[in-house]
Amino acid sequence: MQAVANPRTLIDVIVPQFKADDRTYAIVRNIVLMVGFAWFVALFAQIAMRLPWTTVPITGQTFAVLVTGGALGMRRGAGSLAIYMLMGMLFIPVFAPGSGATSGSWDVHFILPWNGTDNFVWDISSGGYIVGFILAAGLVGYLAERGWDRKQWVHLGMFLGNAAIYVPGLLWLGYLIATDWIHPAAGKPLGDLISGSNTLDKTLMGGLYPFIVGDMMKLFLASLTLPAAWALVSKFKRPF
């Protein structure tokens, strides 16, 4: 069988689609890839740290989300993160440990034992970020299909993808704070659980400032991972 010429994403080189493959196989292949990468994100969600002054945990998900988008492309990347979100809403514990917990103490968790959570995204303060994962994977995937994951633009692409996570994340967190949303686990308004003097201050303190350094490191790592993967694949795909 002959592989499709000029594949646009990394995964299409690693797991090529063949011209002779029928439509059913292609659909099954894409579903398997999207579900597999959804579990990849779930795995990195289990690398988590809770901070005393916010209900939103720091996790390894940003790295996994950016890599997923870059590897799968726009539609499959966004689809994979949509599957991830639905998994958590269908009571599969794939969200970060303590994603619905209150602030007040330090806590670090590294994968095992599996301590994932499940919930409806509108019932957790980090729900906006989970929606943002879909946007980020789609944006990074769109850019990857245009070669940004193999060029000097990769760092900018990852930065834009990371920023896309924050847009719905901060908007949702700010809305919950401004409307005195009652945190289910604490029985108190969310604003009482996050440090800050006003709604904007609490939103930035609880949903942006604690994550800047870590996210810069994760997007930089993702910026190295995709070009390195392309180089490795190209080396092994060379004809002898």
Condensed to tens digits (0 to 9), the pLDDT of residues 133-161 reads: 999 999 999 999 999 988 888 999 999 99
Give CA–CA dist 146/6, Å, rounded: 12
For residue 68, pLDDT over 70 is answered with yes
If you ran DSSP here, which 8-state letter would residue 49 be given? Answer: E
4-9 contacts, C-beta under 8 A, 24 or more apart: 8/73, 8/144, 8/145, 9/70, 9/71, 9/72, 9/73, 9/76, 9/141, 9/144, 9/145
Report if pTM > 0.75: yes
Q: Which residue has the higher pLDDT, 174 or 26?
A: 174
CA atoms within 13 A on the CB side of 66: 31
Q: Do residues 45 and 116 lie in contact, with contact meaning Cβ atoms separated by under 8 Å?
A: yes
Q: Tell me what pLDDT residue 186 has.
A: 79
Q: For residue 235, give every residue at least 6 positions away whose Cβ sits within 8 Å of its Cβ, in sequence order, or none.
A: none
Span 188-239, pLDDT tens digits: 899 988 888 899 999 999 999 999 999 999 999 999 999 999 999 888 765 5
For residue 129, pLDDT over 60 is answered with yes
Q: Please identify which residue in the block is written with the tokens 């966004």.
A: 78
The structure tokens listed for 161 are 């993808």
Share of the chain above pLDDT 90, in %: 64
For residue 240, pLDDT over 50 is answered with no
Q: Tell me what pLDDT residue 224 has.
A: 94
| Structural domains of the chain ordered from first start | 10-235 (1.10.1760.20)
